[in-house]
Amino acid sequence: MVGSPPMRNHWIIAAALVVGLAGCGKADEAIKELDAIKKTACECKDPACLAEKQVDKQVADWRHRHETTKGSQSQKDKCDAIQKEILACVEKAQAPADEPEEGAEKK
């Protein structure tokens, strides 16, 4: 359900990540911070963990801190890749337990 808390959090995270890195300055720091958020998000195996570790808040805070951060194209590309990984981890943690992972065989 789109209105359920886990899905709502997913959309908040997605919206915050779409903004991403605005473009040298603090870009390397922003990438390191985002990578740490990715590690936290990918450690979670269920929505309760995402909520407990406040992944959505971490992403929103990161976005706010770095909304004016500029970077090179390669830094932006790296940031975009990390953001995609975060979203994949969040989606995986929010998937129903009985739903097989993409590419896995159904029994």
> How do residues 47-70 score in pLDDT, each as one tens digit?
999 999 999 999 999 999 998 888
Mean pLDDT (the chain, rounded): 80
Query: Against a cut of 0.75, is the pTM above it?
Result: no
Taking residue 43's Cβ as centre, other Cβ atoms within 10 Å add up to 13
Q: How far apart are the first and last CA of the chain?
A: 25
Rounded to a whole number of angstroms, the CA Rg of the chain reads 15
* Cβ–Cβ under 8 Å, residues 27 and 69: yes
pLDDT for 3? 47
Please state, in angstroms and rounded to a whole number, the distance separating the CA atoms of residues 74 and 12. 26
Q: At which residue do the structure tokens 């975009």 appear?
A: 80
